[in-house]
Amino acid sequence: MSNIELYKEIILKNSQSPFNKNKILNCTHTSKGNNPLCGDNVEMFANIKDKKIHEISFLGDGCAISIASASVLTQILKGKTIEQSYELIQKFNKMIESKQVFQEIKYLNNEHFDLIRSFESISNFPMRRKCATLSWLTLDSALNKKKNIILT
């Protein structure tokens, strides 16, 4: 199977059967995001303990890319430190918005690296970039304790 086929499969799987799509009650961090051009809505939930993301989830509706991106984000960032999370959010957004290659990071296993890289080709579709980055920007807002709605 080629990387392109693998990446398409990852996005389809995560959009049709997203991981961690539920509300965390009494969470320490939350924020909402909206992409009015595509109709994507997301709310991110996280419980931070000892400067690590112990629980993370989302609720939302939207296109396949938006839902898959939120699902992938929750899988990758669970257990990461706040510092690592900020780094991953920044690198993911640069990969999508600026077509920068996502380099391997020591604390990411191969599965998580493939999950992130499955979104690389989205950078070639300007109208879809906001779909991919919505949940990542919304989580960034939550981690910074900004509860306002993020518009992409």
On whether the CB atoms of residues 58 and 135 are closer than 8 A, the answer is yes
Q: Extract long-range pairs of 26-32: CB within 8 Å, 24+ residues apart.
A: 27/55, 29/142, 29/143, 29/145, 30/142, 30/147, 31/138, 31/139, 31/141, 31/142, 31/146, 31/147, 31/148, 31/149, 31/150, 32/138, 32/147, 32/148, 32/149, 32/150
Structure confidence by residue, pLDDT tens digits, 59-78: 999 999 999 999 999 999 99
* pLDDT the model gives residue 37: 86
Nearest to 62 by CA among 147, 144, 133: 133
Percentage of the chain modeled with pLDDT above 90: 74
81-102: average pLDDT: 93
Query: What domains are defined for the chain?
Result: 3-144 (3.90.1010.10)
Nearest to 118 by CA among 71, 84, 83: 71
* pLDDT the model gives residue 38: 86
Phi, psi of 23 (to 5 degrees): -95, 130
- Rounded distance between C-alpha atoms, residue 73 and residue 61, angstroms: 15
pTM value is 0.92
23-41: average pLDDT: 93
pLDDT of residue 23 exceeding 90:
yes
The residue count of the chain comes to 152
Residue 132 vs residue 148, higher pLDDT: 132
pLDDT of residue 147 exceeding 70:
no
- Within 17-123, where are the H helices? 64-77, 82-98, 110-117
* pLDDT the model gives residue 82: 97
pLDDT of residue 7 exceeding 80:
no
The average confidence (pLDDT) of the chain is: 91
